[in-house]
Amino acid sequence: MANVSTKKGTIGILTGGGDVPGLNPAIRAVTFRALREGYQVIGIRHGWGGAVGIIRDEKVDNSDNYQILTEEVVNRAGRTGGTFLHTSRTNPINVKKADVPAHLQGTYNAEKNDLTAEVIKNLDWLGIDYLIPIGGDDTLSFAVRLYKQGVRVIAIPKTMDNDVPGTDYCIGFSTCVSRTIELANRLRTTAGSHERFLVIEVFGRYAGFTAMLPTMAGAANRCVIPEYKFNIERLAELASADRARNPSKYSVVIVSEGAMFEGGEMVFESSTTDAYGHAKLGGIGDMVSAQLAVLSAKYNQGKTINVINQRLGYLVRGGEPDAIDSIVPMAYGNLALDLILDKIHGRLVVLKNGRYDNVPVDVVTSTKKKVNVDIYYNKERLRPNFSSFEMRPLFIMTSD
C-alpha cells in the first residue's frame, strides 16, 4: 500500500465489542504519543469488521474500513463518549456466509468462515507494524490469535463489566458505576414516594462487578450476581426488612443480567447468538420483580408490596467519560507506546493493585475474571462484604 513514509513505522488501532466512555480518550492518547514519536497511526473502523472488509487495491475507496489519524481528528473526539472509529462484534474466526465481504465471497462460501488469513494480509497491506486493539475478552481473544500467528499486538482492556482477566481495571467501568449510582438515586425518589421495591437490572453476563460496586457505595440494599445462585424467598425477606426499616418505606435491589435463581439458569431475550456465541441476556430483572411482588405479602402483614422495575441498559454506557475513564485511557495509551518504543509486543496493559503495568496478552484466554464470592460477597445477606479493605486497589475487588 502506498502510504506516507514515516520515520519509525505504522501503528494500527481499533475498538471492538460494546462501546463505553473512555475509548476516544484512549485513541487520542495513542495517536498523540505515536505521532510525536515519529509513527503514522491508522484507525481501523468497525472493529474487526474493518480489518476483514479491506480491499487490497489502492484504487478502491476503503474509507469505511480505515482512516489515517491526525491530532486534529482525535483531539476533537477525545472528550466524548463512544468510539468515533465505530465498533462491531465481528469475529473473524466465525463469519457467517451472508456477512462475508462481497469481494471475498468467491473464496469463502461456507456457512461459517475463518477469515483470519485475510485479516493478516490486510494488516500487512496497510503496512501496520504494531496493532493496538481495545476491547473486552471477545475482541481481545482474536487479538491473542493474531499474536500467536506473528502479529505484533499490544492490547488495551475495555469493558464496563470490568471482567477482562489480568487487570484490576477496564476502560468504561468507572463511568458505568457512576451512572448506576446516579440513576439509582434518581429512581429512589419515586420508589420512596410510592413505598415500593425498586429493582434495577444492570449489565454483567458472567461477572457481578457492576452490581457489587454500586451496592457497596450505597446505591442499593441488596444485589444478586452471576457468581452465586440466589434464593428468591431469602431476597424477598431481606428486601422487605430493608423497606420496613427505611423511614421512607422502600428498598433497592440491583440485579446483574447474568444472575440466576437457585436451581435456574440465565434468562435470555432470544435464542439467537452473536458472532462469539453469546445470546442476548435480559429479563431476570422482570422475573425478580414479579416474584418479589408475589412473595412480599408474606413479610408485610399480608399486604403486597408493589415494584418499580427498571433495566438501565445503555444509559450507563452512553455519554462522556468520568474522570477515571479520562485518565486511565490516557495512561493505557501511553503504556502501549512505551512498549512499542521498547520493541515489546504480545502484552496487555493493565492496572494491578493501583499501579500501571503489563502482562502477557494470552491471559485473556487462559482464565476468567469473576467476583470471588468467598471474599467479597455475603451469601447470607445477598450483598457485598464490608471487610478487609486494607491494601485493596481503588475498586476493592482485584483480578485474581
Residue 3 has pLDDT above 50, yes or no: no
Q: Cβ distance 216 to 396 under 8 Å?
A: yes
pLDDT at 308 over 50: yes
Confidence check: pLDDT of 7 > 90? no
Q: Distance (Å, rounded) from C-alpha 2 to C-alpha 128?
A: 12
Residue closest to 184 by CA, chosen among 239, 255, 232, 288: 255
| Bridge-based pairing state of the strands 39-44 and 9-15 | parallel
- CATH ID of 174-316+373-384, from 1.10.287.180, 3.40.50.460, 3.40.1400.10, 3.40.50.300: 3.40.50.460
Task: Check if the beta carbon of residue 22 is closer than 8 Å to that of residue 329.
Answer: yes
pLDDT in tens, 125-151: 999 999 999 999 999 999 999 999 999
368/269: higher pLDDT = 368
Q: What are the tens digits of pLDDT across the range 157-171?
A: 999 999 999 999 999
- Average pLDDT (180-193) is 97
Contact 253, 290 (CB under 8 A): no
Radius of gyration of the chain (CA): 23
Q: What is the mean pLDDT of the chain?
A: 94
Active-site entry in 19, 137, 161, 242:
161
What's the CATH architecture for 9-171+319-366?
Answer: 3-Layer(aba) Sandwich (3.40)
Domain ranges of the chain: 9-171+319-366, 174-316+373-384
pLDDT at 282: 67
Greater pLDDT, 280 or 338: 338
Question: DSSP string of 10-65?
Answer: EEEEEE-SS--TTHHHHHHHHHHHHHHTTEEEEEETTTHHHHHH----TTS--TTT
Q: Is the pLDDT of residue 204 over 60?
A: yes
Per-residue CA distances from 165 to 29, 288, 368 (Å): 23, 29, 6
Q: In what order do the strands lie in the sheet with 197-202?
A: 222-224, 251-256, 197-202, 307-311
196 near 306, Cβ under 8 Å?
Answer: yes
Domains 9-171+319-366 and 174-316+373-384 share a fold: yes
Tell me the C-alpha to C-alpha distance, in Å, between residue 397 and each of 242, 299, 374: 25, 33, 12
Helix (H) or strand (E) holding 201: strand 197-202
Q: Looking at residue 118, what is its pLDDT? A: 98
Q: Grid coordinates in use for 123?
A: 494488516
* pLDDT tens readout for residues 319-370: 999 999 999 999 999 999 999 999 999 999 999 988 999 999 999 999 999 9
Name residue, grid cell 442499593. Answer: 220
Active site (annotated) includes residue 114 = no
Q: How far apart are CA 358 and CA 361, in angstroms?
A: 9
CA angle 13, 15, 20 (to 5 degrees): 135
Distance of alpha carbon 272 from alpha carbon 231, whole angstroms: 28
Share of the chain above pLDDT 70, in %: 94
Asked whether the predicted pLDDT for residue 277 surpasses 80, the reply is no
Instruction: Tell me which of 6 and 77 has the higher pLDDT.
Output: 77
Distance of CA 367 to the CA centre of its chain: 17
Q: Give the three cell numbers for residue 46.
A: 468497525
HSE toward the beta carbon, residue 64, CA cutoff 13 A: 8
